[in-house]
Structure 1
């Protein structure tokens, strides 16, 4: 199945669905070869083999997929995201990187969380120029992470490094999924709100405020957000990987089962906080303040400081 996603790029992400034979032998490798090439040389031995990974044992409940780090050098932003999600119950992170990005400024952070056993780094080098494909082949990247996590993680969250889900109601990912995943729900869709880092810091006091200012913890200081986007517009997803046939960045396109559906999480239950550094046209009014994350400060800020001190 090939899907054209963004028509103004030279190359597009696509999926090739392979129907396995009815042979009793297990498939060990697959290879993609043009039919015309095979017709011209029926004895051709392919060289572009891809090993088939098989693992039916669930190892964890929650995995987060983070797309390619590109021109990213903010240690504090990375640590804030990781520690906030870990506090909420995220068990594993998969982060992609490539040769286009000089990672030296955050390498020590990535290595620290690798040593802790919660982060997996995957190299993502495409055989095309960066300018010729949308955001480093993000659709292909998402599906790579989806299939890597299938049968290994019960749920998978897709979100960028500057995004985090915050809930005023639920204390953990487990509590959120137990309450929001109704019958036939195979995905949760979270509404997005921008928390522009360029906005003024809050003047409200909270536990650990001195340290938050000292270390420039934007999650706690930048509490003014723009208009909340509707579902499907800038939304991000938490999915049951075995249920997903194909998905876009903000929504599931097709499930394996016709009964499966996307459940829309109300922002009063949990919302995607997007800490963007640059202003954009879709950062619309009304501007509102949301200090829910301050309720986590007494537990979260010490964890952030400990991690930051460990990599300095």
Structure 2
């Protein structure tokens, strides 16, 4: 039956008589819409569950202490059978720990642990620390954990030893970006999408992100890039265990540990990708390491590796592009992008000039197989040289709060580097933005 035809005919002949039918059809349509919404959200939930196997528990307490263990990696650079456990260590102690290995056939094996705290702690009571465990070649352990001496063994606290099968398999990719933290219900969606698409253009094979808290909309975007195999999301529920600081100095910001455990995640990312990626870029989500003389970062690193064969750490200058200064043409003020929350990096092409008596901050590109410990702006322990990449070869485009807010627009330097990618970038960002519109 044609409901529309019936209602038109009924309305013309006797409107009051067809009112019950109109109400019935209205309720039927609303019910149908509710059913459709139910199936939509059910399917979305099923899609979300597909990704649960990609997420692993990354923080667990060490029984009898305030220390937290994060991950374990075979690191034979320190000796045959040496396992490095990355921890967030409570500096007052206890410092006497035991390693527990789960050997073949489930036989336990214990050995004394050696604790090495990283030199950068910025005054916080918790610091990133490496705990070294020596295993027997007879053990053939796949899992390890830490405990205080005399504690009862608990197999639930054991972690898989990673890197066991990766050393001779070749690299999965040339370049990987490590993003230390997303927190505070992070919702800078547009800049996130733009940055991810620029990474693709520049030859980045994978982005690894440690996620404490992000908005519902950004979660959908994260799932999109996980499905593309461009993104690996590591859950980082540090707020369940510590009071993480939102700043980098204890005296100023307080809290238990520096900047949501940023130093721990950066070190974990190095070991997690040690044999998967030729180089790692350690920077933040609002920073893009951009080559200025090469079409992509792969070509730039090929050249640097040839010219600096003994170098394992490449230092790249960070330059500020104030987010409150806009270019005048409105060329990239696109209507679709305006519907997505976040900063449009293509509208910010004015760079702050260098200051004579202040050295620009840096971020790092590393060969992870030759790095032992890292901080945010420097490597703490390495097995090779470091090299400061010339400003005209490569620099970081960092769209952020201005550092020299007193400068006028005319005193800033116009730098349209990101505009060079617009032919590829605009349709890519449009596609993702169209699939993830902001809620009305």
The corresponding residue for 1:63 is 176
1:112 aligns with 2:224: yes
Shift of 1:168: 2.2
Shift of 1:262: 1.4
The corresponding residue for 1:45 is 153
| Rounded Cα–Cα distance in structure 2 between residues aligned with 1:195 and 1:157 | 20
RMSD after superposition: 2.5
Contact 1:227 1:284 in 2 (8 A): no
| Rounded Cα–Cα distance in structure 2 between residues aligned with 1:231 and 1:302 | 39
- Give the one of 1, 16, 24 matched to 2:131: 16
| Rounded Cα–Cα distance in structure 2 between residues aligned with 1:264 and 1:166 | 15
Query: Which protein has greater RCO, CA pairs closer than 8 Å, 6+ apart?
Result: 1
- Give the one of 373, 377, 382 matched to 1:246: 373
Query: The residue matched to 1:279 in structure 2 has which SS?
Result: coil
The corresponding residue for 1:160 is 284
Shift of 1:26: 2.7
TM-score for the superposition, normalised by structure 1: 0.86
| Rounded Cα–Cα distance in structure 1 between residues aligned with 2:420 and 2:404 | 31
Shift of 1:29: 1.6
- Give the one of 300, 310, 314 matched to 1:188: 314
Contact 2:332 2:346 in 1 (8 A): no
CA shift in 2, pair 1:284/1:27, >3 Å: farther
- Give the one of 196, 213, 220 matched to 2:346: 220
Contact 1:194 1:283 in 2 (8 A): no
The corresponding residue for 1:268 is 392
1:296 aligns with 2:418: no
- Give the one of 243, 259, 277 matched to 1:129: 243
| Rounded Cα–Cα distance in structure 1 between residues aligned with 2:288 and 2:139 | 44
Tell me the alpha carbon deviations over residues 265-302 of structure 1, each in whole angstroms, 9 at most, x when there is no partner. 111111101111x3346998963111122221122122
Q: How does 1:52-91 map to 2 (within 5 A)?
A: 52-53=161-162, 54=164, 55-56=166-167, 57=169, 58-71=171-184, 72-91=186-205
Contact 1:67 1:95 in 2 (8 A): yes
Q: Larger % of helix: which? A: 2
| Rounded Cα–Cα distance in structure 1 between residues aligned with 2:141 and 2:122 | 35
Query: The residue matched to 1:107 in structure 2 has which SS?
Result: helix
Shift of 1:170: 0.8
CA shift in 2, pair 1:298/1:9, >3 Å: same
- Give the one of 313, 317, 328 matched to 1:203: 328
The corresponding residue for 2:402 is 279
| Rounded Cα–Cα distance in structure 2 between residues aligned with 1:51 and 1:5 | 27
Shift of 1:219: 2.3
Contact 2:319 2:360 in 1 (8 A): no
Contact 1:189 1:231 in 2 (8 A): no
Q: Larger % of strand: which? A: 2
| Rounded Cα–Cα distance in structure 2 between residues aligned with 1:236 and 1:138 | 14
| Rounded Cα–Cα distance in structure 1 between residues aligned with 2:142 and 2:358 | 40
Where in structure 1 are there 5+ consecutive unaligned residues? Answer: none
| Rounded Cα–Cα distance in structure 2 between residues aligned with 1:135 and 1:183 | 34
1:29 aligns with 2:143: yes
Q: How many residues align?
A: 295
| Rounded Cα–Cα distance in structure 1 between residues aligned with 2:195 and 2:354 | 20
Contact 1:193 1:273 in 2 (8 A): yes
Tell me the alpha carbon deviations over residues 232-255 of structure 1, each in whole angstroms, 9 at most, x when there is no partner. 852111111111011111111211
Contact 2:117 2:127 in 1 (8 A): no
Query: The residue matched to 2:315 in structure 1 has which SS?
Result: strand
Query: The residue matched to 1:117 in structure 2 has which SS?
Result: coil
| Rounded Cα–Cα distance in structure 2 between residues aligned with 1:282 and 1:61 | 38
1:5 aligns with 2:113: no
| Rounded Cα–Cα distance in structure 2 between residues aligned with 1:95 and 1:135 | 15
CA shift in 2, pair 1:281/1:33, >3 Å: farther
The corresponding residue for 1:236 is 363
